[in-house]
Structure formats: structure tokens, C-alpha cells
Amino acid sequence: MRHIISLLMANEAGALSRVSGLFSARGYNIESLTVAPTEDATLSRMTIVTSGSDEVIEQINKQLNKLVDVVSVMDLSDGDHIERELMLVKVRAEGADREELKRMSDIFRGRVIDVSDKTYTIELTGAGSKLDSFLQAIDRKLILETVRTGASGIGRGERILKI
Amino acid sequence: MELTGAEITIRCLQEEGVEYVFGYPGGAVLFIYDELFKQETVKHVLVRHEQAAVHAADGYARSTDKVGVALVTSGPGVTNAVTGIATAYMDSIPMVVISGQVPTSFIGEDAFQEVDAVGITRPCVKHNFLVKDVKDLASTLKKAFYLAKSGRPGPVLVDIPKDVSNTKTAFEYPSTVNIRSYHPQVAGDANLIKQAAQMLLEAKRPMVYAGGGVILSDAAKQLTDLVRLIDAPCTNTLMGLGGYPASDKQFVGMLGMHGTYEANMGMQNCDVLLAVGARFDDRVIGNVAHFNSVPRKIIHLDIDPASISKRVKVDVPLVGDVANVLGELIKVLKSSKQKPDAAAHKDWWKQIDEWRGANSLVYKNSSELIKPQFVIETLHKITRGDAYVASDVGQHQMWAAQYYKFDQPRRWINSGGLGTMGFGLPAAMGVQLAHPDATVACVTGEGSIQMNIQELSTCKQFNLPIKIIALNNRYLGMVRQWQEFFHGNRYSQSYMDALPDFVKVAEAYGHVGILVEKPSDVEGALQEAFARKDELVFLDFRTDSTENVYPMVPGGRGLSEVILAEDL
Ligand SMILES: Cc1ncc(C[n+]2csc(CCOP(=O)(O)OP(=O)(O)O)c2C)c(N)n1
């Protein structure tokens, strides 16, 4: 099953490689991994999307907790949470396609953030599945480039990950 | 007062009460060696290969309750140390390894003798640090010692660039450590302890399976008390030997691939299993599905939550320090009105005794060929079971584990998790330094001993009167055994040709060597060797070259699917 795991870790050199090394050494899947500093500069927050049986997910949580740099771990999928991913898509936008692409972008609540004679760059956020749908909805031949951040997640309401 | 990084390093070692540093110098650690030279509190043991420095620090740690310390230079110094670090990691041995690094301004430039020490060791350390600023050095070393020893112990590497060891800063050794992300759980959960106690009292066929965690936590006494209290048979893993007295009637021997029949059958057929400081690894429980195919309740006590329910689902997880939680468990059991089910236990012990009757460790002694088992039994006799026994890896290791009956913890020193050939001799050096007056034996094979034989030189320099018990079967015996069983007797590269004359080798290094070729000479040779209290004696026993280790649970099979010597 797919799980989305959030963790806070010391913002130290090498901390990221400890996490990614753990996943590769133990053969766990990583679908995506995002990391950036938090409002407390000594901490980074990471979101990892992974999949595995309940036993594997339990081990992933325990092994992450065992890393000395990791301050706290939460499996967001254990409860209500929100998940967002950012995607930038550069598309060939000429002639009639220009209008159509703009329309599709609006339907998906995207924004055109860069325009040239021949291209648009569209920004989209949402759950990963929404981004997938957008890519399926537009003409594949028009896609020049896509870049996605991978999911970031946060618990709903009072579900808070802190030290 | 301001001190250089090198001075700080030594001061920190002094503050930690470090007695010995095992190491090898080189460019990146020259300033540190210079400071070592200027003082006498911390003694340095110059090994002949960095792998041996780490194994020696490891042997020192295993035989005491202290942190072992090794010091190596950058580049090849660190890479040579990696096998030793991984060995310590697999067996959770508290250790601090200090490595030199190229100057900070050179890092990343493929400088002479630069390797990414933190990167290379990351998967085989509990934690590691690169100290980029001398201001962080003292606190980092403090953390390193604390991490190495607390919680589930393990090796910690501190990589110190050369310029950091030569830069000055104010020195103050922190009195406490606080790592906000690290809080090992020591005490157990009271409710779960109660549940465990109840389960143990209700057991009809209880079994205790205890591993290296008992040794690391110094919990042998608590384990013994508990086992007696609940009237259960007790087995030890390879790492746990000595955690429960082997001569006690409730002991059923080692379990696992080469465990006794009664231990493995007990594991398979018990109704309540208490696992203590052990991790259900593949060499211990064999095939997981087979192990799980019979119902039993499992209580698992370990300091590392990640060890619990990793390979086998458990019913009552007890996370905490083994000695502490066993102490609590004993209290609860003693205060309970309920007593173990005597009638059921009587049947259970009857069953255990029947399995014991299989006599799974029996071997046919010979008047022509020296049987390796006989050498170990005689070693036990001559040393009155009171020696520290460091072992290498192979058949000899299994025979030592099976036939040297360890009654005390920290006496059996072996590489269980990584299975590192070459561990024995350097580990024995660490043991002998820690216990200068004790009897220290190194049980080895002619293959393993050659992996770190250069340490005979270190032994000479530091007057370490280790007794090397080489079971020389002219084969990489354990490999040969597997080839005999599973590869149609094709002995691919397992014959040890062109062996040196070990007696001469020993003599060349300034030691005593004795060649033993006849069973009737075994006891006399051992007596002579151990009588030479102040000398290292290398005993070259020419043993039966085709002897196998029994019983054996072949890899991938279940614990009850065992091959006994008499089956063949
Ligand atoms: C460094 C290392 N290389 C290879 C092995 C694989 N191995 C395990 S036991 C063994 C044979 C050991 O031979 P020896 O030391 O002569 O002992 P014996 O089995 O004959 O008692 C080998 C090669 C190992 N454990 N460690």
C-alpha cells in the first residue's frame, strides 16, 4: 500500500544521505522524496512517498526513528492529511492549441507562468493523481518538458508533526 | 586556555577514561600522534594493519563494559578499518573510531589519501561525524562516546581533518550530552511487563532464547534469576553464550544452524517464547515460514524497537534495556500469587530430556586423527572453563561455541553477525590488554589466522601471552563442508595449499610454536602452552581434515529439519 511519511530531521550535512541510504540499503521503495528547511533553521522537513506491506512500513518507521539525525516521524497516511505536489509543464503552444491549452489549464486550476511565441509553461498544484490527469487530458505530442516536486504532506487540523 | 584540535582530542579521550587506543599513524593524524607522544595516560597500541586496530578495540570492548577506541589515518587507513567497523556494527559493539581526514580546504578535490570516510562508513556505523570546525570537536567526541555506549550500542566514527587538529580553540569538555533526536528507551512499559509475566506464568511449555543483548546490557544475573523463576529451558545464541551458565541444568545449549537438537526443538515446540536481546536472525531460526508454521506466543525484549517484529511477529513487545526490564519482570513475577504450572512443566522437561537424549553433540573420538571437538574439550578442561576465548570464523568457531562451555558473560569473543575471518587474533589482543592477568585463547583455523597473522608482531611488542589454538585441517573447512553437503563434493578453492610452517612463523616473530599431530599429545601440548604464562604460544593442531560441524540445519530449512552426525 502507498504511504506518505513525514519527518523532521536535523539540518546537518549528510542527513539526507542517511535517509536515502537507509531506503536503498534495506530495499525499500521510494516513489518520491522532498526536503527543505523549516521555519526553525536547524530542522529540515522531509516527505517520503513509499509503498510496502504493513510490516515493511512498520520497519520503515522504526528504522527512520533509529537514525540519530531524525527528530520525529509521522505516517501521514495513518490519519487525515493533505497532500500537494507542484508540477511545471512546458508545452508547445501554437495556433489553435494555444487556446485549448489555456482552457485545459484553467479547468485544472493551473496557471500559465511563462509565455513565448511557441510555448507555455503551466504551473499546477494538487494531489499527484490530479497532475497525472492533466497530463493525460492534453495532447501528449505537445508536452515538451515536465518537472514535478514529489508530494509534500501535512496532517489535517490538530495533527501536527513537531519536536 | 586555547588548545589545538589534536590536544583536544587527547584531552577528550582522557576525560572519557580511555586506557588504550589501538591505531596506526599517517599524514592526516600526525598532530594527534604528536599529542599522544606528549602524555602517558592514554596508551597507544601500534597494530600492523588498521583492520586489526578496530578488531582489537572491539575485543577490548566486548570483554569489558567499556568503549573501544581506534585511531586511523585518512584514505587507506579508513578503508582498512571498514571491515572492523562493520564487524562491530553487526554485533552492536560500543566503539569510537577516530579517523584523520585531508585538510578541510582540500575535501572534495581528490586530494592525496582522501576518501569520503563518512560516506563509506555510513551504512555500518551507528552514527558518524565530520568535524569541520575545531569549536565542535569536544562536543562531537562527547556525543560519539555517548552514542556508542547508550541505547543499542554501536561504532561511531569521528572524521577529523588535519587542519582541524592543528587549529586552536578554547577547550571545555561538556559534562552532559543532549541530542534532541536521540532518547533510547531504558525502562519498559509496566503494562506490557505485567502481560508478559502473566503469559510466562501460564505457559505450559515455556522457552527462553537469549542473545548478545544480555551480554551488552550486563544482564546475565537477571537472566539467570528469571529463567529459574519461571522454570524454563534456556538457549543462547552464538552471541549470547555465557549470558546463561552453560553448566546449569536448565541450559539446553546454543540454538540455530549448528545448535543442539534440544535447543532447536524447544524453540519450535514451545508455547511461550521469551526472546531477550536477540533478533531472530536467519542463522538462528532458519526458515521463517517454517518457524511460524506452529502457533506459539512470543514475548520479545530488546532495546531496539526496530528489532521487534522485524522478521517474526511478536505478541508482547518489550522495548527497553534488558537488565532493567528483566529486573522489573522478576519483581512482577515474584509478587504474583500464581506459580508456574508444575504438572505441565514436568511433561515439558521430560520432552526436553528426550531431545537431549539424541546427544546431538556426540562425536567419535579417534586415536589416530585429532578431532577438533576433542581439542576444544581439552582446552576447556585445561583452562578450567575460565579462559577468555576469542575466535575466528569457520568450523573451529562453531566447535568452540559448542564445546567450550561458557559459564560467564564476556568470555566468548566472536564475530557473529558479520562473520569476519581475521577477527580472532586482534580481538584477543584487545582482550588480553583489558585483562592482563587472565588466560586468553584464540581459537582459529589455518585460513582465518592468515588474514591477520601480522599481528603476531604486535603481540611481541606488547607482550601479549595469547595462546593460539589453530585447528589446522588444511581446508577452509566451513566452505568445504558446504561444498560436501550442497555442491556435490566439488571442493572449489577450499583446499589450503602451500601453508607456512606455523611453528617457524611463530618463532620468527619471537614466540613459541608447537606442532601437535597426535591425539595423545593434545592435552600435554595444551598444558605446556598454558604453563608458559608470559609467552605467546602458537599451537598448530593438525586435525581431521574432513570433520564436519553437526548438528546442522541447512540454510533455508526449518529448525526441526536438522542433520545429525548419526544420520550420515
Ligand atoms: C573475510 C572472510 N572471507 C571469507 C569468508 C567465508 N568463509 C567462512 S568460513 C571460511 C573458512 C574458514 O577457514 P578456516 O579459518 O581454516 O577455518 P575452518 O572452517 O577450517 O575451521 C570462509 C572462507 C569469511 N567468513 N570471512
Q: What is the pLDDT of residues A124-145, one digit of tens each?
A: 999 999 999 999 999 999 999 9
Q: Using pLDDT thresholds of 50, 70 and 90, give the confidence band for residue A162.
A: confident
User: Residue A13: its pLDDT value, please?
Assistant: 87
At a CB cut-off of 8 Å and minimum separation 6, what does B195 contact?
B316
Across chain A, mean pLDDT equals: 96
Sign of CA dihedral B242, B243, B248, B252: negative
Question: Which residues of chain B does A72 touch, with a Cβ-Cβ cutoff of 8 Å?
Answer: 181
- Is B50 part of the annotated catalytic residue set? yes
CB atoms within 10 A of CB B204: 14
Indicate which residue of B14, B37, B39, B112 is catalytic.
Answer: B112
| Peptide bond connecting B551 to the previous residue in cis, omega within 30 degrees of 0 | yes
Question: Do B505 and B453 contact (CB within 8 A), yes or no?
Answer: yes
Q: State yes or no: pLDDT of A163 exceeds 90.
A: no
Question: Do B358 and B262 contact (CB within 8 A), yes or no?
Answer: yes
- Is B478 part of the annotated catalytic residue set? yes
C-alpha cell at B547: 570433520
Closest-approach residue (CA) in chain A for B306: A62
Cα separation, B275 vs B564, in Å, equals: 26
C-alpha cell at A63: 528504522
pLDDT single digits (tens) A66-121: 999 999 999 999 999 999 999 999 999 999 999 999 999 999 999 999 999 999 99
Of A62, A63, A70, the CB nearest to B181: A70
User: Residue B566: its pLDDT value, please?
Assistant: 74
- Is B35 part of the annotated catalytic residue set? no
At a CB cut-off of 8 Å and minimum separation 6, what does B477 contact?
B394, B395, B396, B445, B447, B471, B494, B545, B547
User: Residue B568: its pLDDT value, please?
Assistant: 57
- In single-letter form, the type of residue at position A101 comes to L
At A44 the three-state DSSP class reads strand
Cα separation, B94 vs B152, in Å, equals: 9
Following DSSP, what letter does each residue of B339-398 receive, concatenated? Answer: ---HHHHHHHHHHHHHHHTT-TT-----SSSB-HHHHHHHHHHHTTT-SEEEE-SSHHHH
Locus of grid cell 579517523: B99
Q: State yes or no: pLDDT of A16 exceeds 60.
A: yes
- Number of A:B CB contacts under 8 A? 40
> A150 vs A34, A46, A49, B220, CA distance in Å?
6, 11, 8, 50
Tell me the H-state helices in B18-129: 30-37, 50-63, 76-90, 117-121
Locus of grid cell 538462528: B284
Low-confidence spans in chain B with pLDDT less than 70:
567-568
Verdict on whether the full-model pTM lies above 0.95: yes
Q: Does B184 touch chain A (CB under 8 A)?
A: no
Interface mutation target, options B181, B280, B319, chain A, most CBs of A under 10 Å: B181
For B468, how many CA atoms within 13 A lie in the half-sphere containing its CB? 37
What is the distance of C-alpha B193 from the center of its chain?
Answer: 28
Q: Domains in chain A, please, with CATH?
A: 2-79 (3.30.70.260), 82-152 (3.30.70.1150)
Q: Which residues in B124-163 are b (16+ Cβ under 10 Å) and which e?
A: bbbbbbbbbebeebbbbbbbbbbbbbbbbbbbbbbbbbbb
CB contact under 8 A, B147 and A69: no
At A117 the three-state DSSP class reads coil
Question: Do B20 and B433 contact (CB within 8 A), yes or no?
Answer: yes
